[in-house]
C-alpha cells in the first residue's frame, strides 16, 4: 500500500515509535505525525511534538506496565510526519492515508487538536472519547472556524453530539456549556473525577459500545494538570493526574483509533511532558 502514498507527502523518521517498524501490509497500527501549528491562541510550538514523542519513546522501557505486553509484540508502522501546505491539504492527505490503510488502526501525533476533525468520516460510527481541559465547542475563534478551540464543534457537526463524551474539562464558556446540553454531549469535569466516577464512566461506555463499531480516543495533553504536564500550549490548573488518566485508558474495552495532541516541548525543558505523551502512545498502541 505504501506505493500508493506519494513520497512527497511524508517526511520519514529514523526512529519509528517504539523503535520497531512493521511492514504496512501487516500493521495493526499505523502512526502518522501531523505537525500542524497554525491556529495557536497562546503558545506556539506543538508542531515539534511528533519528533519529540518518538525521541522519548525509544528511551522508555518498551513493556506496557498495565498488561506486560512489549511494544515489539505489536505490529506498528510509523510513516513519519505528514508534509502539507495548509489545513485543507493536511485534511485531504490524512483522509487519503486512512483510506489506504483501512486494515489498521491509526494513531495521529499532533500538532494542534484541530487534526482530530480529519478522522470524522472514517470513524463516524464510533463513540468518541475526548480528554481535554477545554470543551473546544466554539463555532469560531479568532475568526477561524478551524481553530483548535473549535475542533469538538466541527466533530459534532459530523458525528452528532450524543456520540461524544468529554472528560477532564475545566475551561468551558457558558455558550459552550449550553451548546453541549442542547447537543446531548456528555461532559465530565475534572473537579468531579473520582475512582467512582471512573468506574461509572467505564460502565457507561461498556453499555453503549454495542451500538457502535468501536471507540476513537482523542487525548489533548492539556487535559492533565500542568503540575504533571506543563509542556502544553494552553495550560489549565485543576486537571487530572497522570495516574488517573492512565488508569482510565488502561481499562477501556477497546480503542480503534487515537490521537495525542497539543504537547508543546518548548515549554518543558525537563522532558516530563514529553515522557508522559510517549508513554501514553506506547500504552495505547500495546493495550488493545
Q: pLDDT digit string (tens) for 220-270? A: 999 999 999 999 999 999 999 999 999 999 999 999 999 999 999 999 999
Mean pLDDT of the chain: 95
82-91 residue pLDDT tens? 999 999 999 9
Number of domains in the chain: 1
Share of the chain above pLDDT 90, in %: 90
pLDDT for 236 equals 97
The pLDDT value given to residue 178: 97
Q: What is the CATH number of the domain that holds 263?
A: 3.40.800.10
For the segment 82-110, the average pLDDT, to the nearest whole number, is 96
pLDDT of residue 177: 97
Q: Can you give the pTM of this predicted structure?
A: 0.96
Counting residues of the chain whose pLDDT is more than 70, the rounded percentage is 99
Strand partners, 166: 130, 187
pLDDT at 27: 96
pLDDT of 143 > 90? The answer is no
Domain residues for the domain of 180 are 2-285
Distance of CA 92 to the CA centre of its chain: 18
Kindly tell me the sign of the dihedral angle through the C-alpha atoms of 129, 133, 139, 140: negative
Amino acid at each position: 500500500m505504501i506505493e500508493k502514498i506519494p513520497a512527497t507527502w511524508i517526511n520519514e523518521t529514523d526512529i519509528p515509535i517504539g523503535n520497531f517498524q512493521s511492514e504496512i501490509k501487516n500493521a495493526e497500527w499505523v502512526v502518522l505525525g501531523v505537525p500542524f501549528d497554525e491556529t495557536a491562541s497562546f503558545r506556539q510550538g506543538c508542531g515539534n511534538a511528533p519528533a519529540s514523542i518518538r525521541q522519548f519513546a525509544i528511551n522508555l522501557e518498551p513493556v506496557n506496565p498495565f498488561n506486560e505486553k512489549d511494544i515489539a509484540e505489536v505490529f506498528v508502522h510509523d510513516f513519519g510526519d505528514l508534509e502539507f501546505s495548509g489545513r485543507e491539504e493536511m485534511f485531504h492527505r490524512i483522509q487519503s492515508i486512512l483510506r489506504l490503510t483501512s486494515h489498521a488502526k491509526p494513531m495521529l501525533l499532533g500538532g494542534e487538536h484541530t487534526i482530530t476533525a480529519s478522522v470524522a468520516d472514517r470513524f463516524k460510527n464510533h463513540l468518541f472519547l475526548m480528554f481535554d481541559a477545554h470543551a473546544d465547542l466554539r463555532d469560531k475563534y479568532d475568526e477561524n472556524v478551524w481553530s483548535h478551540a473549535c475542533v469538538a464543534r466541527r466533530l459534532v457537526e459530523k458525528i452528532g453530539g450524543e456520540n461524544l463524551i468529554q472528560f477532564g474539562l475545566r475551561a468551558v464558556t457558558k455558550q459552550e456549556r449550553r451548546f453541549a446540553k442542547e447537543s446531548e454531549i456528555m461532559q465530565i469535569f475534572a473537579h468531579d473525577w473520582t475512582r467512582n466516577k471512573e468506574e461509572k464512566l467505564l460502565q457507561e461506555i461498556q453499555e453503549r459500545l454495542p451500538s457502535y463499531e468501536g471507540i476513537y480516543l482523542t487525548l489533548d495533553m492539556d487535559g492533565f494538570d500542568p503540575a504533571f504536564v506543563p509542556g502544553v500550549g494552553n495550560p489549565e490548573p485543576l486537571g487530572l493526574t497522570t495516574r488517573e488518566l492512565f488508569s482510565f485508558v488502561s481499562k477501556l474495552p477497546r480503542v480503534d483509533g487515537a490521537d495525542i495532541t497539543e504537547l508543546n516541548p518548548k515549554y518543558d525543558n525537563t522532558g516530563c511532558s514529553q515522557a508522559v505523551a510517549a508513554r501514553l502512545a506506547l500504552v495505547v498502541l500495546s493495550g488493545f
